[in-house]
Amino acid sequence: MIRQSFISVVGILHSQNDVLTLPAWLSSVYQSLQANFSDYEIVLINNQRDLSAIENIIKPLPEELRKQIFLLNLSSAVNRDNAILAGLDRANGDYTVLFESDFVSSPDLIVKLWDTCREGYDVVCLRASERKLPAAQKALYHIFYYILKRYSRLQIDPWAHHSRIISRRALNSLLRLRENSRYLKANYALVGYKTGHIDVAVPLHPDPEATFGEQFRTALVAVTSFTTFLRSLLLWIFMFSVIVACTAVYNAIKVKLTSVDIFGDPAESLSGWAFLVVLISVFFAITCLNLYVMSIYLSNIYSEIKNRPLYIVESVKRY
């Protein structure tokens, strides 16, 4: 059955593995689109990969496939979310499918995404059941998503792949949000619209070329941009510091009057030395934490005020 719809499929050439799997990805995506849709286009985003290698892959392809390909070459490397945004900006279809190379062997998922979307959803994502990470990183991911769920109103699925289908109206709303947060999943949730999912066996895994430090900074930006976690944390730290200060005062008075501390041990009053050390240490720590948190928020505000482009397209090529 041919579905009377114009569909855009976006592929991101972000890592070397994406380039290596490109021939199989193009072949499988083309076969699925040709057999099931009346009109389609394929948008490839070259995030500073070897252009000559990509062209050597595309040029031998059949003309019917080549003429459906748009290749956008970015002038400098950007993070994966901004590369995805470049593809979404260029997509012209009634529906846009972001299709990762992880699913190269399952092109039928494009049809399943479209069919599910037509059931009344505007966004349908592919959902994993596990995350391939070391135990320590898994724990950090659990903490990150717990903070997002507990301290924001965004309904973010922690098991969602980047791969998904987006209707035209949802995509138009998404593209109006020019956030510099570098966390596109939060933008999907911020836009809203009815969202569904399809369970897949392919596990989630981090970008192989992203370091742990980059992932941590991205998580920190997402937490400060979309949640009230740090504000709540500062309140708890303030309350704890007040308790510590009150305890220190009570202990000093008790030692002064009874020569016994709050733990019941004999103690000698030393004219306020310990009390001052405790107070100075506590309030110095609070001051440093406040300055650090304020620097994060100021950095986020500064990035938004500069309004720099999230990506720059060097060239657009048709074949």
Do 100 and 12 meet the contact criterion of CB atoms below 8 Å apart?
A: yes
Do 144 and 41 meet the contact criterion of CB atoms below 8 Å apart?
A: no
**C-alpha Rg value of the chain to the nearest Å:** 26
Same domain, 261 and 119: no
Same domain, 132 and 281: no
Task: Tell me the per-residue pLDDT of 39-78, one tens digit each, with 9 for 90 and over.
Answer: 889 999 988 888 888 888 888 888 888 888 888 888 888 8
In a domain, 7, yes or no: yes
**Is a pLDDT exceeding 70 seen at residue 182?**
no
In a domain, 223, yes or no: no
Q: What is the pTM of this model?
A: 0.72
Same domain, 41 and 78: yes
> How far, in Å, CA of 129 to CA of 117, rounded?
21
Same domain, 113 and 254: no
Same domain, 154 and 253: no
**Is a pLDDT exceeding 80 seen at residue 240?**
no
Same domain, 158 and 172: yes
Same domain, 208 and 267: no
Same domain, 198 and 247: no
Task: Tell me the per-residue pLDDT of 126-149, one tens digit each, with 9 for 90 and over.
Answer: 988 888 877 777 777 788 888 878
Same domain, 208 and 240: no
Residues 6 or more apart whose Cβ sits within 8 Å of residue 132: 203, 204, 205
Q: Which of 28, 23, 172, 153 is nearest to 95 (CA)?
A: 172
Same domain, 201 and 89: yes
Same domain, 98 and 204: yes
At 153, list the tokens. 């109103």
In a domain, 107, yes or no: yes
Which DSSP string corresponds to 109-175? HHHHHHHHHTTT-SEEEEE-S-B---HHHHHHHHHHHHHHHHS------TTEEEEEEEEHHHHHHHH
In a domain, 80, yes or no: yes
Same domain, 243 and 157: no
Q: Check which CATH number belongs to the domain holding 73 and give it.
A: 3.90.550.10
- Residues spanned by the domain of 295: 229-306
Q: Which of 145, 157, 141 is nearest to 199 (CA)?
A: 157
How many independent structural domains does the chain possess? Answer: 2
In a domain, 60, yes or no: yes
Task: Tell me the per-residue pLDDT of 254-284, one tens digit each, with 9 for 90 and over.
Answer: 777 777 777 777 766 666 666 676 677 677 7
